[in-house]
Amino acid sequence: MAKENAQNLIETSDYIGHHLVNLTFGWCEKTSSWGFANHQQEFFKGLDSACKVSEMGFWSFHLDTIFMSILLGAVVFGFFGLVNRAAKKGVPSKLQNFAEFVHEFIASAVNSGYHGTSKIVGPLAFASCLWIISWNLMDLLPVEMASFFGHFGGGFNYFKILPTADLNAPLALAIVVMILVTYYSVKTHGAGGFLKELFIVPLGPLEFISYVSKHVALALRLYGNLFAGEMIFILIAIMFGQFAMSFSQTLWFLPGLILNLSWALFHILIVALQAYIFMMLTIAYLNLASTKH
Amino acid sequence: MNINATFFAELLAFCIFVFITYRYIWPSMENLLEDRRKEISDGLEAASQSQRKLEEANKESATILDGAKSEASSLINQANSRADQIVDEAKEQAVEEAKKIKLSAEADIEQSANKAKDGLRDEVAALVIAGAQKILDKEINAKANKDIIDSLIKKI
């Protein structure tokens, strides 16, 4: 019994670990070559490297994150681009109606929150909000689905479909925001004024710490919420997983089903809310940067 | 959680998507909505203007109607007074005519009365003469006594 439990524990932690590893393509120090992390895929023969994911350094790419985010972006922005191209001034079609609704929603947030003159804030808010929502929606797909299709469809043993649960993606967004905030701060207050604000007035370098941390927090907030949500889905999925292991644990099936459903319903809120929060904070930071105070 | 070169790929992708939004999605939608907003406000403006015009036209038609009504009533009054006048004139004429007829009738009556008087006088004179002839019987000449008889007749 104890042995069986220990065995289960190892399998469980393996299962969780499996779901937290990205499909990685990177530079392997050991062999001095580029390649996929060891045993992650069988699709590209000969591109397997000897390194594990943990052994790869900074120069590695999470191909699943990149693939999924660009695919989702292409779908979302392609949709809006096509609808806009077909848009007409008269009575709008239903798709155009939807696109207009989304646009008006974001535009009203921008107009009420941003009082500067920059033309980039609207598009930035639009792009970040919709891209993040499309990422987050991937969290609602069953956790096993991606691995299932990855394994049998393409020979990828590791494939995470949720770009938000990879810190690189939200961090990239937050850094773009940070660069823009810095640019507009310097433009509004001048380089000297901006540096003075960061390091001297009124609390010394504390302001600099808050400046950096608010942008890092922008990324971490999004990442943390979705990563935790994904984690809970994985834990719930384990309940189903027990089904195959021993008969006594098939009893987990029903609570697992109920939990999965209720968490998914609750998660819809988080999906939209986190994207909204990211957008609103982006607007607020840029507003602070481009108005004199 | 490990930061690696994926970050740069995401950074690039985000910049590209923001640029696409900036170039192709945001402004066209803004223009579209702005145009529609303008169209709607123009339509509302036109509607209120035509409403105003309608009110003006209503007012104008009401004044025209009032004018026509008063004109018609004045015409009717005129006609009525004219009719009264005609009736009055006719009455006056009739009365005059009646007076004339009456006068001529009176004249006729007087004339025929005079004629009858004259006739009677002559007859009475003849009777008186005959009577006097019978009384005096012989000598009395009708001619000689005519003056006396005429003066008698005039006294009658």
Average of per-residue pLDDT across A269-288: 93
Q: Who has greater pLDDT, A117 or B77?
A: B77
A246 min Cα distance to partner chain B (Å):
33
B38 min Cα distance to partner chain A (Å):
11
Average of per-residue pLDDT across A23-49: 79
Residues 14-33 in B contacting A (C-alpha not used; CB under 8 Å): 14-15, 17-18, 20-22, 24-26, 28-30, 32-33
pTM (predicted TM-score): 0.73
Which residue in this structure is represented by tokens 């773009």? A176
Nearest CA in chain B to A174: B11
Average of per-residue pLDDT across A250-271: 85
Q: Is there a contact between A26 and A60 (Cβ–Cβ < 8 Å)?
A: yes
Q: State whether A120 and B18 contact (CB < 8 Å).
A: yes
In angstroms and rounded to an integer, the radius of gyration of the C-alpha atoms of chain B is 61
**A9 has a pLDDT exceeding 90:** no
Q: State whether B6 and A107 contact (CB < 8 Å).
A: no
A47 min Cα distance to partner chain B (Å):
18
CA trace torsion A36, A157, A70, A221 (10° rounding): -100
Q: Is there a contact between A24 and A148 (Cβ–Cβ < 8 Å)?
A: no
Helix (H, G, I), strand (E, B) or coil at A76: helix
CB < 8 Å to A61, chain B: 4-6, 9
Q: CA-CA distances (angstroms) from residue A110 to A274, B14, B42?
A: 17, 19, 26
Average of per-residue pLDDT across A249-263: 80
**A81 has a pLDDT exceeding 70:** yes
Mean pLDDT, chain A, rounded, equals 84
Q: Is there a contact between B26 and A126 (Cβ–Cβ < 8 Å)?
A: yes
Q: Is there a contact between A23 and A63 (Cβ–Cβ < 8 Å)?
A: yes
- Smallest Cβ–Cβ distance between A122 and the set B7, B14, B26 belongs to B26
- Smallest Cβ–Cβ distance between B25 and the set A69, A70, A77 belongs to A77
The band of B19, judged by pLDDT with boundaries at 50, 70 and 90, is very high
Average of per-residue pLDDT across B68-91: 95
* Tens digit of each residue's pLDDT (9 = 90 or more) over B25-42: 889 888 888 888 899 999
**B1 has a pLDDT exceeding 60:** no
Mean pLDDT, chain B, rounded, equals 89
Q: Is there a contact between A198 and A208 (Cβ–Cβ < 8 Å)?
A: yes
Is A275 at the interface with chain B, CB within 8 A? no
* Residue-level pLDDT at B42: 94
Residues 6+ apart with CB under 8 A from A259: A236, A239
Is B40 at the interface with chain A, CB within 8 A? no
Q: What is the ipTM of this complex?
A: 0.87
Q: State whether B36 and A80 contact (CB < 8 Å).
A: no
* Residue-level pLDDT at A130: 93
Q: Which of A96-105, A211-220, B131-140 has the lowest mean pLDDT?
A: B131-140
Structural domain of A77: 2-290
Size of interface A-B (CB pairs under 8 A): 119
* Tens digit of each residue's pLDDT (9 = 90 or more) over A177-212: 999 999 998 988 888 888 888 887 777 778 888 889
Average of per-residue pLDDT across B130-137: 78
Q: Is there a contact between A116 and A185 (Cβ–Cβ < 8 Å)?
A: no
CB < 8 Å to A62, chain B: 4, 6
**B135 has a pLDDT exceeding 50:** yes
- Smallest Cβ–Cβ distance between A69 and the set B13, B26, B39 belongs to B13
* Residue-level pLDDT at B73: 95
Residues 6+ apart with CB under 8 A from A233: A139, A143, A260, A263, A264, A267
Token representation of residue A151: 């394994």
* Residue-level pLDDT at A223: 92
Is B34 at the interface with chain A, CB within 8 A? no
Buried b (16+ CB within 10 A) or exposed e, B112-135: eeeeeeeeeeeeebeeebeebeee
A244 min Cα distance to partner chain B (Å):
30
Which residue in this structure is represented by tokens 């920059």? A118
Q: State whether A127 and B14 contact (CB < 8 Å).
A: yes
CA B60, chain centre distance (Å)? 24
Is B87 at the interface with chain A, CB within 8 A? no
- What are residue A48's DSSP bridge partners? A36
* Residue-level pLDDT at A289: 87
Q: State whether A26 and B33 contact (CB < 8 Å).
A: no
Average of per-residue pLDDT across A154-175: 86
Rounded Cα distance, B131 and B8, in Å: 178
Is A224 at the interface with chain B, CB within 8 A? no
Q: State whether A61 and B1 contact (CB < 8 Å).
A: no
Q: CA-CA distances (angstroms) from residue A48 to A52, A53, A155, A161?
A: 10, 12, 12, 21
Choose, out of A34, A72, A89, A111, the residue to mutate when testing the contact with B (most B CBs < 10 Å): A89
Domain boundaries, chain B: 42-155
Q: State whether B17 and A77 contact (CB < 8 Å).
A: yes
Q: Who has greater pLDDT, B3 or A280?
A: A280
* Residue-level pLDDT at A116: 82
* Tens digit of each residue's pLDDT (9 = 90 or more) over A61-74: 888 889 889 999 99
Q: Is there a contact between A146 and A131 (Cβ–Cβ < 8 Å)?
A: no
* Tens digit of each residue's pLDDT (9 = 90 or more) over A88-120: 777 788 888 899 899 999 999 999 999 888 888
Q: State whether A127 and B7 contact (CB < 8 Å).
A: no
The band of A134, judged by pLDDT with boundaries at 50, 70 and 90, is very high
**B119 has a pLDDT exceeding 60:** yes
Nearest CA in chain B to A58: B4
* Residue-level pLDDT at B140: 56
* DSSP string for B28-51: HHHHHHHHHHHHHHHHHHHHHHHH
Q: Helix, strand, coil shares of chain B as percentages rounded to 5? A: 90, 0, 10
Q: State whether B11 and A81 contact (CB < 8 Å).
A: no
A15 min Cα distance to partner chain B (Å):
17
The band of A1, judged by pLDDT with boundaries at 50, 70 and 90, is very low
**Structure letter (DSSP) for residue B142:** T
Domain total of chain A: 1
**A259 has a pLDDT exceeding 50:** yes
Q: Who has greater pLDDT, A29 or B66?
A: B66
Q: Which of A145, A178, A184, A179 is nearest to A162 (CA)?
A: A145
Rounded Cα distance, A155 and A163, in Å: 20
